[in-house]
Structure 1
């Protein structure tokens, strides 16, 4: 299992969320919403310090992660986080 954050997504987090080197971005599972990953669940995003990291990557000095107890969401696959300019949102896909 791995996590990939595209350069476009990193730039979006820097611009829209004001992220800088040393910040942490958590991707978490929430019930409801629309997802291309799991039916009836979607990804949430929070700027917060980790508790128990299950998977992470550091891009441009920013730590992106998911907590250990939420890795079930990925079904053993990798996560790709990209930016979609047409919707001005980040997009989540399994790899």
Structure 2
């Protein structure tokens, strides 16, 4: 399972969450909302120190990660984080692994 980040979403993280080198950004499973993968669950994001990283990507000195305990949610899909210009926020796409 991999994480991919659109370069435009990195600007959003810097501007909206004050992300800079040395920070950790966690994508986490939360109860509520909806996603194409699991009814009643959705993806959240927070600035958070890792406990047990399941997968990660580094960009501009920051680490974007998913905890090992949350990997079940992705159900053999990679996470692609894009920037939605209309909503001015990140948008998540799940790409089936081949």
Q: Which runs of 5+ in 1 are unaligned?
A: none
Q: Which runs of 5+ in 2 are unaligned?
A: none
- Match for residue 85 of structure 1? 85
CA contact (8 A) 2:54 2:66 kept: yes
TM-score when normalising by structure 2: 0.91
**Structure 1 residue runs of 4 or more that deviate by more than 2 Å after TM superposition:** 34-38
CA distance in 1, matches of 2:79, 2:39: 16
CA distance in 1, matches of 2:36, 2:10: 20
CA contact (8 A) 1:82 1:92 kept: yes
TM-score when normalising by structure 1: 0.94
TM-aligned CA deviation for residue 16 of structure 1: 0.6
CA distance in 2, matches of 1:67, 1:31: 16
Moved more, 32-41 or 3-12: 32-41
CA RMSD of aligned residues (A): 1.0
Instruction: Looking at secondary structure, tell me which structure has more strand per residue.
Output: 2
SS in 1 for 2:8: helix
CA distance in 2, matches of 1:85, 1:50: 29
Between Structure 1 and Structure 2, how many residues are aligned?
A: 95
- Match for residue 15 of structure 1? 15
